[in-house]
Amino acid sequence: MKLLLLGLAAIAAASKPLPTAVIDSGAIVGTTTTLPSSTAVVNKYLGVPFGKRPVRFSPPEPAERWSTTYNATKWGPACFQEVSQAVQLLFNLLDMPPQLGGEDEDCLNLNVFTPANASAGSKAVLFWLYGGSYRNGGAAVPQYDGSSFAANQDVVVVTINYRTNAFGFPADKNIPLKERNLGYEKPDSSYQRNRADQKFDNSLLDQRLALDWVNRNIAALGGDPSKVTIMGESAGATSVDALVVTPPEPVPFRAAIMESGQTSIKTPVDTTRKQYNQSWQKLLDRTNCTSGDTIKCLREVPARELKRIATNETLVFGPIPDDYTMAKHPRQRRLNSTHDESSIARVPVLIGSNGDEAITTIIGQNDTRKFLQPYFGNLTDALLAKYPLGSPGGSYRARKIISYCDGISNTMLYANESAIAGIPTWRYLFNASFPNNEKGYGAYHTSEIPFVFGTYPQQNKTHFEEEVSKSMQKAWADFAKDPYKGPGWAPEPAIGIFGDGVKAGMSVEGKKPLKSVNSKKIDFRCPLYSPVYT
């Protein structure tokens, strides 16, 4: 009898209709999932086009209508990646999962994870932008699966693709002005006047088009378009900051979360327009597209050949501030904004970093002074003096100095100036590592992501590890549901610390998955770094 009941249950589950919805492009059918840790059922709509197949090096255009039901049950392709040998070695070292769905230029698709019981237009929405130094990244990465988030926190999660590397940032003045028209968003006159000599940031326009799609369609999938929180990590957080400081009109979001990144506080080693132009020239040289209509020539080169050249040459591309998709002086814009007059989106902000941000960048570095000099110049000796050499050695010292600069100190400055401008601002620090994900690198850059999404390894997980993830998910979701109430601790100058410094093999007795402390306990070295930032 027991076997019969189980069999009937399996048949019933198999016969349950798949979730469907109607968006402005037509009908879509998705799939469902139930997590072992939750009884909630999540509907997943995967690989949904938000844009047409883009013309190479041109801005995105909205997806066309389809006449039959679109199959949204499998991941769509990622945009073409630039993953150098060094970056691939790092991915292997950290067991970074591969992209699902392959690669293609027809990559402007997104994924929606929504509670199955969500009524139309009812849930807060989290809109995710991945990192990858604007060279790689995609939404179809297992770490970014929003099922756990949606099931445990009763929110809608959207993850999107956007073009990166040369495909997303064509640094060529020969792109005709007529091809720079946005189509879906009217540019202001100052941008129209000044854009003829600007590099075109198609990557950031992809993000804006996806955000526009969310505002038009998310109600049909259970989300409330008036309750959108944009969130991202690393380059994704930089993109979030760009949206905050140079927002579309009307502003299509009400809060912002930035994990390990922002665009407002700069350091001397930030990539420059000159480097982008040099990379573009190398691409032209390697493809013999140096004369005549260079854009037409490059459009005829196979996409995989462009990828091969960019990867082998380690070419660098990224956004150029144009005061349309990215501000030229974001820090000043924020400080000058007021409740009565503002060119930025004065939305609540949650910003933070990890305890060991820089560890993966200093692997194999033995000469601490030589490594630090490009960052800090004449400040190098003063910083080294504050971090006496001892066990475990010089590379550890460099790791702490760079992590403090690229994590704690610039985040402190951002949060402080945001609060001074009267913007509700909260700050966090992720500082934990565990036996099943510890590679000897502590709370390294990106290590918080699986805790936020609930996609950390389940094998050999610890109870404390599970509690850290639950705490992070709840904080992010609480912030999205009521941004002005915040994530669960006091605003700046308080800091919410996740993980309490726990490391593999350390006792968790007396440790808390989340605690709040005054920023002075974390920021005491920040004045040392203030001359670095511009």
Catalytic residues, by residue number, are 234, 341, 445
Distance CA 347, CA 237 (A): 15
Encode 272-287 in three state secondary structure. CHHHHHHHHHHHHHHC
Bridge partners (DSSP) listed for residue 27: 22
Distance CA 373, CA 491 (A): 35
Residues 6 or more apart whose Cβ sits within 8 Å of residue 533 = 265, 266, 267, 409, 410, 413
**Residue 388 CB: number of other CB atoms within 10 A?**
7
| Strands 41-49 and 31-34, sheet pairing | antiparallel
Distance CA 346, CA 132 (A): 27
Residues 6 or more apart whose Cβ sits within 8 Å of residue 95 = 439
Distance CA 53, CA 60 (A): 8
The three-point CA angle 250-207-482 to 5° equals 55
Residue showing tokens 């699902």: 100
Nearest CA-CA partner of 256 in 497, 483, 516: 483
Nearest CA-CA partner of 317 in 307, 305, 329: 307
Give me the DSSP letters along 52-93: PPPPTTS---BPPP-SS-EE-SSPPPBPPP---HHHHHHHHH
**Do the beta carbons of residue 273 and residue 173 sit within 8 Å?**
no
Distance CA 270, CA 273 (A): 10
**Do the beta carbons of residue 234 and residue 260 sit within 8 Å?**
yes
Three-state DSSP at 342 gives coil
Question: Which runs of consecutive H residues, i.e. helices, occur in 313-408?
Answer: 330-336, 368-376, 380-386, 394-403
Show the beta-strand stretches assigned E in 37-184.
41-49, 70-71, 109-115, 123-129, 156-160
471: its two tokens? 């705490």
CA distances from 287 to 103, 299, 300, 308 (A): 21, 11, 10, 11
Distance CA 362, CA 374 (A): 13
506: its two tokens? 């350390």
Q: Which amino acid is at 364?
A: G
